[in-house]
Structure formats: C-alpha cells, structure tokens
Amino acid sequence: MATLENMLIALGISGIALFIYIFIAFIVGTVRKNNGLMDIFYGPAYFVTSITAFIVSVILNNTFCIRQIIVNILVFLWALRLGSYIYIRNHGKPEDYRYAAMRERWKTNIAIKSFFKVYLFQGIIVFLVDIPVWFINISSNPPVSNLLDFFGVTLWLGALIWGIGFIFETTGDWSLYQFLQKPENRGKVMDKSVWKYTQHPNYFGEVTQWWGLFIIALAVPFGFITFIGPAYITFQIIKVSGVKLLDKHFEGNEEYAAYKRRTSSFIPWFPKKKKE
C-alpha cells in the first residue's frame, strides 16, 4: 500500500523529471530560435510526468495494478499522436506567429522571458492537467485480486469516454490537415467529417479524454479531487486559448459565421440545415 511519504517522493521525482524535460525543450527552442518547438514537446511531457510517477511508485511500493498500466498506455498513445501530428504539421515551417509576436513584444531578455512565459508556464499546465494520471500512479489503487476490481465500472467507463475523445481529436486533426493540403481549399472553412458536427472536434476530443481519465481516477482514495485537471484544461481551451482564439481569428469571415450558425459550438450534434 502506498504511504503518504512514498506518494510525496514519487510526486516530487515526477516533478523534477518534468522540469528537466522542459529545460531540454527550452535549450532546443533557444538554439533553434523557435519557441514553437515547445508545441511538439508539450504532448510527450504528460507521459514523462506519468511514467516517472509510475516507475518510482512501483519501486517504492513493490506493486502495481491494471489501472495504472491502462492510464499510462492511454497517455502514451495521446502524447505520441499529438507530438507526431504537430511535428508533421510544423516541419519545415517558420516559428508559429503567436511565438513570433511574443518575441516582437518582448524585445529584450527574450531567452529568460521565453523560459518563464512559454516553457515553464506550459510545464506547470502539464503538471496540473495530468493530476488524474499521476494521482492514480502514486496512490493505493484497487487491487487486481478479483474480477469485480478488474472490471471496475470507473476503469472501463473512463477508458470508453477517453476513446471517444481520442477518435474525435485524431479524426478532427487529420481531416483538417488533409483539407489544408489542397490549394483549392485555401481560405475555405472545413465543414466535413467530424467538423460537420462540432466547430471544434479536436478541442472537444482533447477535454473528453481528460474527463475520461478523471473517471478512471475516481476509484483511488480521494480521486474526486483530480477534477481540477480536466476542469482547468476545459476552461483553458474554451475560454482562454483554443476556441476563443480561433473564433477571433475568423472574426468577420462570413463563410465561418454561416458555419457557426449551423454547427454545434462544442459538443457534437447534428448540423442545422443550410438555408437556401
């Protein structure tokens, strides 16, 4: 059984591993003069945090369970997909306009400001959002001693919800990538595939996956407090970064305005019929 001391040790070492990883990302981004590379490092950072907590916890407690294995596999799949997709999407392109604008605003001490405002800030977000996973990894999990525990409702329900989110995010990103590769689509609005049912299938998929991991975490002691992670990423995506910035980017675009009128804003639903 995991003791409080062992939990804190596993958590602390996990945080140190994440900091080292983020610092490596900072060095690479600084040398390449491209802070947008942090976007590639971002997804795998979650797996670094999760797997470190898992390994340290196993060493200290000399035990592990199916719940820990499954959540680490899910995080690995998500991190691998996201990191690979962003690498493919950004390969050979200049620094993302958002980071380039930051450099323009900062003028001086760019490296120091980049470390704190880009790399360390995103590292803190990773540690916060990943709460359900590292909590499962460092806590006393339900034992795999009987079928009731193995087929626990929270484990499989959470995995199912995560799978739905993974499908939406993967399909949304890939279909959009293919759409943008065709010159004839330049300037047009994507409204095919899953984009027909929600304006933001990738963002919907993202937050759904984290809520699924939260459901899995409910089985461990005090797992309910891990709602902080998915609640924060949901707020961040809808109200601060993803959805809000995208809507602002297309502000004044009549085609996008028409798309918004007929398409669910976030949660997938059948589109309204186009008016003649």
The domain segmentation of the chain, as residue ranges, is 1-143, 152-276
> Which tens digits make up the pLDDT trace of 57-100?
999 988 888 889 999 999 999 999 999 999 998 988 899 888 98
Element (H, E) at 132: helix 131-138
Q: Mean pLDDT over all residues of the chain?
A: 89
Which residues 6+ apart lie within 8 Å of 276 measured at CB? none
d(CA 206, CA 14): 23
Does the pLDDT value for residue 52 go beyond 90?
A: yes
Does the pLDDT value for residue 196 go beyond 90?
A: yes
Q: How confident is the model at residue 170 (pLDDT cuts 50, 70, 90)?
A: very high
d(CA 227, CA 215): 9
Does the pLDDT value for residue 142 go beyond 70?
A: no
Q: How confident is the model at residue 146 (pLDDT cuts 50, 70, 90)?
A: very low
pTM of the full structure:
0.90
> Which tens digits make up the pLDDT trace of 227-275?
999 999 999 998 888 777 777 777 778 888 888 889 998 999 999 876 5
As a whole-number percent, the residues of the chain with pLDDT over 90 amount to 63
> Contact at 8 Å (CB) between 195 and 173?
no
Tokens encoding 205? 């998929």
Which residues 6+ apart lie within 8 Å of 99 measured at CB? 34, 35, 36, 118
